[in-house]
Each structure stands twice: as structure tokens, then as C-alpha cells.
Amino acid sequence: GIQVEQSPPDLILQEGANSTLRCNFSDSVNNLQWFHQNPWGQLINLFYIPSGTKQNGRLSATTVATERYSLLYISSSQTTDSGVYFCACYSSASKIIFGSGTRLSIRP
Amino acid sequence: NAGVTQTPKFQVLKTGQSMTLQCAQDMNHEYMSWYRQDPGMGLRLIHYSVGAGITDQGEVPNGYNVSRSTTEDFPLRLLSAAPSQTSVYFCASSRLLAGGPYNEQFFGPGTRLTVL
């Protein structure tokens, strides 16, 4: 089935810094979604982005389906951005597969 | 809208006991699913449903049963709990769109299960 790899596994930044999180997938996907899991365990939708670019405030995401990767950009990071960021890919063969996540820690 | 609700929030079982984790959504979503999340890992799909009366297996279905008698409810049953089933369980729902079996997923708050 499809393999989903996220990098880096851990990222520590100072408040105000920018970051780029990457999601690579091994096969073509029908859908791709980015989630944020906050320190209390709650999973929050960020982007539904099988292709193209989307922006929502300080966050934006780009998926290049032909090259099998997606990027999540966080600008001017805040302590509330801390948590784990997951990408999840869906293909008809493999159903939905989550990456192992990037743990982001924003220091004040 | 309450969104996706799960009960209980916490549960401790002994090996061999059975129980049902409840999941309900009030968004009239066709697609519902159950995941487990083990420490330091992403979510893994257990079972899913594309509508009332229709269920299918995900990546890790062994030891779990599901049914979908209504659009709103999607309970997950542990038949004979084992310590390997200690995990956090998330239920999710989404619409079904043409061209893809799921759209944005909305997650419940999770159930933390410990099997002794």
C-alpha cells in the first residue's frame, strides 16, 4: 500500500519563526489532508488539499501531486501552534494512511 | 451542531472483557470511521462505513466489530479486550463527494482505553 513519510519528525522553534513541514507519499492519491493535534489530543482540520495551494491566515499548504509531496507552511509561529502535525493520504487501494507526524514545539 | 461525539472519554478494561465505544455525528455525513492512535504514531484506520448498512475493514480490523444501523451512529465493539488494544480511539465523519470517498474529516475528542 501507499507509504506516507513526514519530515522532520521534531522541530523546535522560537516564537515568530517560520517553518515548513513536508509530507511525501509513495503513490498517486485521491485526497490529502493536513491536521493539527493540539497538546490536549484534539485533532483539527487544517487543509483538504489533493492538489494546488491553499492559504488560511498564517498557514498555507501546497500539494504537487505529480511529484508526490505536500508542504505545510507556518509563518510567524505562536505558542498555540505547538502540537503534532499529520498529513493523511487516501488512495482507492490503500484507503486512508496517516504519516507519523511532525512534533512542533514553539518556545516563547 | 455538536459535531462528532464519543463516549466514554476514558475506560479501563480487564483482559477478556467486551465493551462498545459509542460515536455519533449530527452533520448528516455519509462517511464514518474509527481509528486508533498508539503513542508516538499516526492514526490507523480500523473500520469505516460509507452509509447505513455498509461497513468495511481498514488497516487494523482484527478484534473489532462495527455496525451502522443509522446515519448518525457508528459504534465500535471490542469482542474480547487484549492489552494490545490499549490505545486512544478516534471516531471521524465526513461527506462523500463525487471523485473521492471522503472529503474533510471531522474528529471526535477520542476515547482513552486501557486494557489490563
Residue A4 pLDDT more than 70?
Answer: yes
B31 and chain A: CB distance < 8 Å anywhere? no
Q: What is the DSSP letter of B52?
A: T
Structural contact between residues B9 and B50, judged by C-beta atoms closer than 8 angstroms = no
Average pLDDT over residues B8-20: 97
Distance, CA of B93 to CA of B73 (rounded, Å): 10
Position B2 scores a pLDDT of: 81
**Angstrom distances, CA of residue A72 to CA of A36, A86, B29, B105:** 11, 10, 27, 18
Distance from CA of A100 to the nearest CA of B (A): 4
Who among A30, A42, A98 is closest to B42 (CB)? A98
Residue A92 pLDDT more than 80?
Answer: no
If you count residue pairs, one on A and one on B, with CB atoms under 8 Å apart, how many are there? 53
Residue A104 pLDDT more than 80?
Answer: yes
- What phi and psi values does residue A41 have, to the nearest 5 degrees? 95, -5
The larger pLDDT score, comparing residue A91 to residue B22, is at B22
Q: What is the DSSP letter of B65?
A: E
Taking contacts as CB-CB distances below 8 angstroms, the residues of chain B near A38 are none
Position A93 scores a pLDDT of: 67
Give A52-85 pLDDT, tens digit per residue: 999 999 999 999 999 999 999 999 999 999 999 9
- What phi and psi values does residue A67 have, to the nearest 5 degrees? -105, 0
How many CB atoms sit inside 10 A of residue B88's CB? Answer: 16
Who among A33, A50, A99 is closest to B105 (CB)? A33
**Angstrom distances, CA of residue B39 to CA of A41, A100, B63:** 11, 10, 19
Q: Strands (DSSP E) along chain A, which ranges?
A: 4-7, 10-14, 19-25, 31-37, 43-48, 52-56, 59-64, 69-74, 83-91, 95-98, 102-107
Give A32-51 pLDDT, tens digit per residue: 999 999 999 999 989 989 89
Q: What angle do CA B92, B96, B102 make, to 5 degrees?
A: 55
Taking contacts as CB-CB distances below 8 angstroms, the residues of chain A near B4 are none
Distance from CA of B22 to the nearest CA of A (A): 17
Position B77 scores a pLDDT of: 98
A49 and chain B: CB distance < 8 Å anywhere? no
Q: Do B101 and A30 touch (CB under 8 A)?
A: yes
Structural contact between residues B103 and B47, judged by C-beta atoms closer than 8 angstroms = no
Structural contact between residues A31 and A69, judged by C-beta atoms closer than 8 angstroms = no
Give B85-104 pLDDT, tens digit per residue: 999 999 999 988 765 556 68
Give B35-68 pLDDT, tens digit per residue: 999 988 889 999 999 899 999 999 999 999 999 9
Taking contacts as CB-CB distances below 8 angstroms, the residues of chain A near B90 are 43
ω into residue B83 within 30 of 0, thus cis?
no
Give the strand order in the sheet containing A4-7.
A4-7, A19-25, A69-74, A59-64, A52-56
- Say how far residue B64 (Cα) sits from the centre of its chain: 10
Q: What is the residue type of B116? A: L
